[in-house]
Structure 1
Amino acid sequence: MAELPSSIEKKGLFKLVLTFHCVVSSLRVGVSAVQSADSTYGFTELPLQSQNLDVQRPYDVPVEQRFSFCGGVYRLWVFADDKPHTPTSPTKPRTEIRISGYDYSSGVWQFEGHAFVPNRTTGVAIMQILLAAHGATTLAITVSNGQLMYYQSQVLDSDIYDRWFKLNVIHDMDAHKVIVFIDGVQKLEVMDRGGHSHYFKCGVYAQRNGSYYMESLWKHIKIFKLLMQ
């Protein structure tokens, strides 16, 4: 993608794109028109290799018993009685892709991925931004009885099961904001939870009232950054 001539113009374009999303959504135009907007416009895609995808899974099982990659699709699953990812961790079971090599402490970053959550997977976080001033995360996208949610406080989509959907998450550390798009439609804009360093994760991480079996599938995972000059 062609780079903009200055950091001021890039910041202005970023704000213009977000304003466009809000205006279009508020006018309630057709879904196809809303989806034509691209939250990654003005961003630069960063190279993502296998070494950038660190799979965290229960420490006592081989990775292939909780993770597979076939036909461009990452499949991650975990059971409610699985062990944590390290012997000393007090956390709940997880199988997650931790994006490595792109930890960030400033700037504007974006995660993109297409996700699929099968019916009966519930009580689970499928995407997170790790680390905060207080608490473990500055964002958690969860699934509860077919609803896609911001933590457990706000519904982002009421019918998420058994279909592919596109998830874009922007973290603007300069403005301390997190913005979430589902299928190209802005669903959330909140203040982040502070902290000096962050990274992205996706997969399945057990939460309260979780199902015994939890699974999510991912494809087209990408990382973007708004580059400045």
Structure 2
Amino acid sequence: MKREECELVQKEENKHTSSSFRYPTLGFISLPLNRSYHNIQKPLDVPEDQRYSFCDGVHKCRVYSTNKPHTLTSLTKPCTEIAIHLRGYNYSSGVWQFEGYGYVPAGTSGVCIMQVFGATSPHASTLMLRVYNGTLMYYRSTVLIDEIYDKWFRVNVVHDADASKVKVYIDGYLKLEADGRGGTSHAFKCGVYALEGDSFCMELRWRGIKVLKKRD
């Protein structure tokens, strides 16, 4: 190996042994994941292929602020989300993890891009990752990344349902540890879910989505 290559390898090793860098999937088992484990929640008056596509390994979700909710009885804003809640992936116990690579196009704002659904009333979710004007946030209380537009980033969300704790890693770095919000049933969702201050068009891309569970 050339000297320059050795130096690059050493720099990468040094970076990954930083006190804040982690391998969050260590100790977890990657579970099967295909279309039979999730469905697409999208505006009820629009065909799925106008709001969601899966091509070359990339999930593309889009919604407009003027769209309808995903059900007739829903009181929420419009969404196009991959809801991973079928075939036993709607869970009530254990330590579960979501992993995926997200991409937020510039202009998308006022939107939830990933959530751990399910909580104790009056809450509906245990965790939300939101984007406001290019800033990635935990709800509206904690900034995780200042500039998130137009680049791929890796997301790992760990939910300990038994201890009611959540952790968020971005590109391998621990960005958040927080208490959960209770609840007896949870599921991972990712995509675009309009919130207050939403932009007219909201779009998100996901690739490499995985669901993992901690080894017993």
After TM superposition, the score normalised by the length of structure 1 is 0.84
Partner of 2:196: 208
Equivalent pair of 2:59/2:205 in contact (CA under 8 Å): yes
- The separation in 2 between residues aligned to 1:85 and 1:147, in whole angstroms, is 26
Please give the residue correspondences for 1:69-108 in structure 2 after superposition, counting only pairs within 5 Å.
69-101=54-86, 102-108=89-95
- The separation in 1 between residues aligned to 2:102 and 2:208, in whole angstroms, is 9
- In structure 2, relative to structure 1, the CA distance for the partners of 1:58 and 1:188 (3 Å cut) is same
Matched, 1:37 2:22: yes
Equivalent pair of 2:99/2:154 in contact (CA under 8 Å): yes
One-letter amino acid matched to 2:64: F
- The separation in 1 between residues aligned to 2:180 and 2:146, in whole angstroms, is 23
Give the 4+ runs in structure 1 shifted more than 2 A. Answer: 29-37
- The separation in 1 between residues aligned to 2:91 and 2:38, in whole angstroms, is 16
Equivalent pair of 1:51/1:100 in contact (CA under 8 Å): no
Partner of 1:196: 184
Partner of 2:208: 220
Q: Note the C-alpha offset of 1:31.
A: 4.4
Equivalent pair of 1:112/1:167 in contact (CA under 8 Å): yes
- The separation in 1 between residues aligned to 2:183 and 2:75, in whole angstroms, is 21
Partner of 1:148: 136
Structure 2 gap ranges (5+): 1-12
Partner of 2:99: 112
- In structure 2, relative to structure 1, the CA distance for the partners of 1:58 and 1:116 (3 Å cut) is same
Q: Note the C-alpha offset of 1:133.
A: 0.8
Equivalent pair of 1:156/1:188 in contact (CA under 8 Å): yes
- The separation in 2 between residues aligned to 1:50 and 1:173, in whole angstroms, is 24
- The separation in 2 between residues aligned to 1:196 and 1:70, in whole angstroms, is 35
TM-superposition CA deviations, 1:79-137 (whole Å, max 9, x none)? 00000001221110000000023011111000000000000100000000111012110
After TM superposition, the score normalised by the length of structure 2 is 0.89
Matched, 1:176 2:164: yes
Partner of 1:18: none
Partner of 1:53: 38
Structure 1 gap ranges (5+): 1-28
TM-superposition CA deviations, 1:41-98 (whole Å, max 9, x none)? 0101100011112101000111000001111000000000000001221110000000
Partner of 1:14: none
Q: What is the DSSP-based 3-state SS (H/G/I as helix, E as strand, rest coil) of the residue aligned with 2:49?
A: helix
Q: What is the DSSP-based 3-state SS (H/G/I as helix, E as strand, rest coil) of the residue aligned with 1:82?
A: coil
Matched, 1:139 2:120: no
One-letter amino acid matched to 1:57: K
TM-superposition CA deviations, 1:167-194 (whole Å, max 9, x none)? 0000012221000000000000000000
Root mean square deviation, CA, Å = 1.4
- The separation in 1 between residues aligned to 2:105 and 2:35, in whole angstroms, is 25
One-letter amino acid matched to 2:96: W
Q: What is the DSSP-based 3-state SS (H/G/I as helix, E as strand, rest coil) of the residue aligned with 2:25?
A: coil
- The separation in 2 between residues aligned to 1:30 and 1:205, in whole angstroms, is 38
Q: How many residues align?
A: 200
